[in-house]
A and B are shown apart, each in its own frame.
Chain A
Amino acid sequence: MTPEPSRLRGADLAGLAAAGMRARPLRAVLSALGIAVGIAAMVVVVGISASSRAEVEAQLERLGTNLLTVSPGRSITGEEASLPPESVEMVGRIGPVTSVGAIGEVDANVYRNEAIDPNRSNGIAVYAATVDLLGTVGGEVAAGRFLDEALAAYPTTVLGATTAERLGISVADGSVAVWIGDARFTVVGVLEPVPLAPELDASALVGWPAAEAELGFDGAPTTIFERSPDETVAAVREVLAATANPEAPQETVVSRPSDALAAKAATDRTLTTLLLSLGGVALLVGGIGVANTMVIAVLERRSEIGLRRSLGATRAHIRLQFLAESMLLAGAGGIGGAVLGGAVTAGFALWQGWPVAIPLWALALAAAATVAVGAVAGVYPAAKAARYSPTIALSSY
């Protein structure tokens, strides 16, 4: 008579693993916590960098990627080149170009009033600006308004966001004036930060005619901004240099500011990798904690192992039980860590005003990592448990 082989159902195996974990709740929580910290760290790192990238993408979507700029470069002999004064108008004549704006650097500083030490210029640049500038770069005013045809001829100025902060100015109702060159300029507007033209943030903008009249501006633009429909950007780019400076097209620099913005998001990658490997170290330490817990559990539960063997468990059943318990312990930590990491990411993103983006692959990877860590951590204790002779296991109490 051959008895049927011993069999352990999958559901019962899961039940055994869960019961083993529940038997010592505090120990289970503490050892799962190690895994949870590692997983949470990794999810947070990936989640925050993904959220920040999503923010940049949303920003680019909002700002558009069809803005090109032309600036003077250097001549063959290494001198600083300049664009001819009529270049702004010429760029505007390129067929697909829908809007054009320009700034020209003015050799002057801006002060809160005439009593300030001239050396304390606060690093603020003064630019002459065309009235179409703000619309072209996609900027917005925080207070007051931007220069228009009427204001541009008078000593009025619009301050960039950083400038306003440095000078301590937040009202732009015409009651405040600043000192530029040797004249008072009334502040008519303050800008929000301009992501596609960050040089505007630390500047004071004055009207093109006013700059020529009051500040000795030579009328040569330092940067021309232009937009055209997306599908024509490449074509416009081809002709932009030659149009802006027909005499010396090689002395101009054409660039696309949105590329710089996207590149900035990409450079975070090194830091992300570094933080991710720190999270990996935490996960490894957590895995060692789980292995430690399991080794102790096996030592403590020798009589349980002996009893199970007497009830008909094979060595493989014992090994599976402890392996499953280890994986469950690590898995519980992984789930806890993913939830914790997700919550921290969401909290941080909301606080920053970013969209919340937690990539699914990160969660899948976290799950796979914990299961793998649990399996590896459980291999030795499970093998040890399975090696016990049933009689030794039963005689130890």
Chain B
Amino acid sequence: MDDQTSTAVRVRADAEAPSAGRAGPDAAPSPDAEPPRPDPPPVVELAGVDRTYPGRPPVAALRGVDLTVRPGELLAVVGPSGSGKSTLLNIAGTLDRADAGTVRIDGRDLSACSDRRLAAIRAHRIGFVFQQFFLAPGAGALDNVADGLLYTGRPRRERRAAAAETLERVGLGDRAHHRPGELSGGQRQRVAIARALVGDPGLLLTDEPTGALDSATGEAIVELLVDLHRGGTAVVVITHDPQVAAAMPRRVRMRDGRIESDEAVRG
């Protein structure tokens, strides 16, 4: 029964694939727009990244990973649990640091960045969506979304206005004052996505965004992510769901901390 939706998504995603790598006309404008260059830097660039968690024995979560995500690209990272997907997402999102190799966000090498600088990158350039949503239970949808701008220092009124706009964008304009407890799982995930998007980040990192949802709701979320990518935001989706991965124009397969395959589906 989900087949139809799934196919529809895949078709649209495939149609979109050729534009991957080039920002659309209304691509997310970077807040500090530099003079246009023929080839903008990748939003994320990992080169030879190692990450080992200390312990007995130490766990090598990433070994020599190279990955480049261009502006506006949509890709799925798939692999069995323990393959290093989440570590990859944490490092690409500046939440964790690589032990070796270089990580660049928007062309900037992170190895020399202080905690404050990394926080600034997260506040302005990266949006996260987690499987568990992590919404504040006591606050309405609008305030939860507005929290996505809390650490930009913008005034509350501006944050709420931007939040209302973003809620419309994810199709929840009429649920602005509902608390998370009054929303369905899919609606909650939309609120979480809106919170990640409200600052117009260049990169959206999602960790199992459909993991806590039934398949029909999951399809709708995937459709939303595809729409966002079409709007110019680079989207990385970590998933173990083959159907979700199939809807993406590029699929990165991981195993034992290495990238096993990285295939782009050409339409």
Contacts and interface: CB of A to CB of B under 8 A. Distances in A.
B73 to A, nearest CB: 18
Nearest to B33: A1
B125 interface: yes
Contacts of A397: 132
Interface in B124-153: 124-126, 128, 130, 132, 134, 136-139, 147-148, 150-153
B26 interface: no
A217 B159 CA distance: 96
Contacts of B147: 311
A3 interface: yes
A396 to B, nearest CB: 11
B124 A3 contact: yes
Interface stretch (B62-70, B114-122, B240-248): B114-122
Contacts of A273: none
Contacts of B115: 314-315
Given A4-B120, A12-B156, A389 B134 contact: no
Interface of B: 30-32, 34, 86, 90, 93, 95-96, 106-108, 115-117, 119-126, 128, 130, 132, 134, 136-139, 147-148, 150-153, 155-156, 195
Question: Interface on chain A toward B: helix, strand, loop, or mixed SS?
Answer: helix
Interface string A213-230: 000000000000000000
Interface residues of A, number: 34
A394 B125 contact: no
Contacts of A389: 95-96
Contact of B153 (A2, A9, A303, A395): A9
Contacts of B121: 3
A238 to B, nearest CB: 75
A316 to B, nearest CB: 8
Contacts of A303: 132, 134
Interface string A74-104: 0000000000000000000000000000000
State the 9 A-B residue pairs at the shortest beta-carbon distance, nearest first: A312-B123, A7-B153, A312-B151, A3-B124, A314-B119, A390-B95, A310-B128, A307-B134, A6-B151
A391 interface: yes
A4 B130 contact: no
Contact of B30 (A1, A308, A311, A316): A1
Contacts of A3: 31-32, 120-121, 123-125
Given A1-B106, A389-B95, 8 more contacts: A1-B30, A6-B122, A303-B134, A310-B126, A310-B128, A312-B151, A313-B150, A315-B119
Interface of A: 1-9, 11-12, 19, 22-23, 303-304, 306-317, 389-391, 394-395, 397
Given A19-B138, A391-B90, A391-B96, A313 B151 contact: yes
Contacts of A309: 95, 119, 122
Nearest to B133: A307
Nearest to B139: A19
Contact of A6 (B90, B128, B152, B156): B152
B32 A1 contact: yes
A3 to B, nearest CB: 4
A11 B9 CA distance: 44
A315 B95 CA distance: 12
A308 B139 CA distance: 15
17 contacts: A1-B30, A1-B34, A3-B123, A4-B152, A6-B119, A7-B151, A8-B153, A9-B153, A303-B134, A308-B150, A311-B147, A311-B148, A311-B195, A313-B150, A315-B119, A390-B96, A391-B96
A14 to B, nearest CB: 12
A312 B151 CA distance: 6
Contact of B150 (A8, A22, A390): A8
Contacts of B123: 3-4, 6, 311-313
Contacts of A5: 116-117, 119-120
Question: Chain B CB within 10 Å — which of A1, A5, A8, A317 has the most?
Answer: A1
